[in-house]
Amino acid sequence: MLSIAELTERFPDFRVAVVVAEGLSVGERDAALDAEIVQAEARARARWAGTELSAIPGVAAWRTAYRGFGVKKTSYRSSVERLLKRVLAGDALPRVNALVDFYNKVSLDEGLCLGCDDLDRVEGDLAFRYSRPGDSFLDMGAAEGEDPNDPPKTGEVVYADAVKVLCRRWNWRQDARSAVTAETRRVVLTAQSNGAGDVEAAAARLVEGIARVCGGQARALVAEWARPVVEW
């Protein structure tokens, strides 16, 4: 189950497509996916050439949402803003594994924040909610020699399971304990919108593409203001 019920009053435009996929084989990306990613990078550069990051709808929507819970510094960038900033600067999308690389491509094309967690490494129900005393978070992006223990601040929006925070600041940084690896066989992905972007289109692409690049089967549900809790 996933719930966004705690956020709907304050953020009525928040919508999440939840994609659950099972029976996966997560390897390195092949030449075909590599070519698709290069094409997506080229599309993004052509589409947004000469445009300030703040004027891109998906970026602007998430900056507004971040300000809604007190984050004003652009040093805290949503996941889609980080991808766009990187690609528009001339760099390639990061190479992690076929599944992560594929959903990053979808994120870039759709202008949405996407995330993914190993279902066998999460516990209990999932929720986008406000942080609580005792929440724990081990920062997957911590630099070498830096303490990854970085619990969320009071009032921060987080994505969490029953025992830990999976992502801080909605979609800023992921917890290291639920990351997708070569051993992953089941995942839950989220495609997130806060007033800009089509989560249904992203979900359809994820369902088709995951089967193609990692095998297995996937299905999608959408949580929104009118239906804040979804079960699979």
Q: What is the pLDDT of residues 13-30, one digit of tens each?
A: 999 999 999 999 999 999
CA 145, 149, 155, 161 dihedral sign is positive
Q: List the domains of the chain with CATH numbers.
A: 2-230 (3.50.40.10)
Label residues 78-112 b or e (16+ Cβ within 10 Å = b): bbbbbbbebbbeeeebeebbbbbbbbbbbbbbbbb
Whether residue 73 has pLDDT greater than 70:
no
If DSSP codes are grouped into helix, strand and coil, which group holds residue 62? helix
If DSSP codes are grouped into helix, strand and coil, which group holds residue 43? helix
User: Tokens representing 220?
Assistant: 């999608």
Per-residue pLDDT tens for 137-168?
999 887 777 788 889 988 899 999 999 999 99
CB atoms within 10 A of CB 174: 23
The pLDDT, as a whole number, for residue 72 is 64
Give the pLDDT band (50/70/90) at residue 71: low
Whether residue 38 has pLDDT greater than 70:
yes
**What value does the mean pLDDT take over residues 60-70?**
87
The pLDDT, as a whole number, for residue 146 is 77
Residue 80 CA to residue 84 CA, distance in Å, equals 6
What percent of the chain clears pLDDT 90, i.e. is strictly above it? Answer: 86
Residue 19 CA to residue 199 CA, distance in Å, equals 11
**What value does the mean pLDDT take over residues 187-211?**
97
Whether residue 4 has pLDDT greater than 90:
yes
Per-residue pLDDT tens for 167-183?
999 999 899 999 999 99
Give the pLDDT band (50/70/90) at residue 75: low
**What value does the mean pLDDT take over residues 196-200?**
97
Burial class (CB in 10 A: 0-12, 13-18, 19+), 62: buried
In DSSP terms, 194 is beta-bridged to 14
Give the pLDDT band (50/70/90) at residue 70: confident
The pLDDT, as a whole number, for residue 30 is 96
Mean pLDDT (the chain) is: 94
Per-residue pLDDT tens for 39-59?
999 999 999 999 999 999 999
The pLDDT, as a whole number, for residue 59 is 95
Q: Where are the alpha helices (DSSP H) in the chain?
A: 31-48, 57-68, 79-88, 98-110, 199-214
Q: Are 131 and 169 in contact (CB under 8 A)?
A: no
The pLDDT, as a whole number, for residue 144 is 77
